[in-house]
Structure 1
Amino acid sequence: MKVGIIKAHLQVPGSRSLKEKRHAIRSLKDQLQSRFKVSVAEVDDQDLHQSAVLGVSFVASDGKNAQSRLQNLVNFIEDYRNAVVVAIDKEILHEN
């Protein structure tokens, strides 16, 4: 069993309020959950109106599958039009 983890640091450039930021981030979260069947949460910068940090996680049966899913998720996040990626940290945890 492998666990894939992504921590995505995002900027929401056009956002003038927390409500606008949450709308943009909620849309990304919903798309990730729907398309990739992953768990997603805003894990930091909740009170900043132009910044967000998302945590994304999933379980995979093997390393090759986990690596492929991880890359597909990163590509999707980087291509999302309502936010700019500042940094992405990714990791695959292995069962002992």
Structure 2
Amino acid sequence: MKIGCCQLRFFLHGNNSLKGKRKVVSSMKDRVRNKFNVSVAEVGDNDQWQSIQLGVAAVGPDPQYIDGLIQQVIRFLDSLQLAELTDSQFELIHVGHDHQ
């Protein structure tokens, strides 16, 4: 089993409230969930109104597929232009004993 996880950081230009940030975060999460079969959650900077941290995770047997899927999610979120992508960190975790 392979687990791909990614932490994404965004800067929210022109925002001046947590309410505005929540609206953008909710839209980002909903759109990713509707388009991709991944888990997504806000994982940090909850009280900072111009900073967004999202975590994205996917599980499967094929590391190339997981990597490609996460890269598609990153490109998709960046293409929404709701916030500026400033950093991404990806990790692939191998769990169990498989034959690959």
**Shorter-chain-normalised TM-score: which range?**
over 0.9
Query: Counterparts of 2:3 and 2:16 in 1: how far apart (Å)?
Result: 36
Query: Counterparts of 2:44 and 2:64 in 1: how far apart (Å)?
Result: 29
Select between 71-80 and 19-28 the one with higher mean Cα deviation: 71-80
Higher-Rg member (1/2) = 2
Q: Which residue of 2 aligns with 1:86?
A: 86
TM-score normalised over the length of structure 2: 0.90
Cα offset, 1:80, TM superposition = 2.1
Structure 1 segment 13-92 matched on structure 2, within 5 A: 13-92=13-92
The root-mean-square deviation of aligned C-alpha atoms, in Å, is 1.0
Cα offset, 1:74, TM superposition = 1.5
Q: Which residue of 1 aligns with 2:7?
A: 7
3-state SS, counterpart of residue 13 of structure 2: coil
Cα offset, 1:52, TM superposition = 1.0
TM-score normalised over the length of structure 1: 0.93
Q: Would the aligned equivalents of 2:12 and 2:82 in 1 still touch at CA under 8 Å?
A: yes
Cα offset, 1:7, TM superposition = 0.2
Number of residues of Structure 1 aligned to a counterpart in Structure 2:
96
In structure 2, list runs of 5 or more residues that go unmatched.
none
Letter of the 2:66 partner, please give it. A
In structure 1, list runs of 5 or more residues that go unmatched.
none
Letter of the 2:93 partner, please give it. L
Query: Counterparts of 1:16 and 1:61 in 2: how far apart (Å)?
Result: 43
User: Which aligned runs of 4 or more in structure 1 are off by greater than 3 angstroms?
Assistant: none
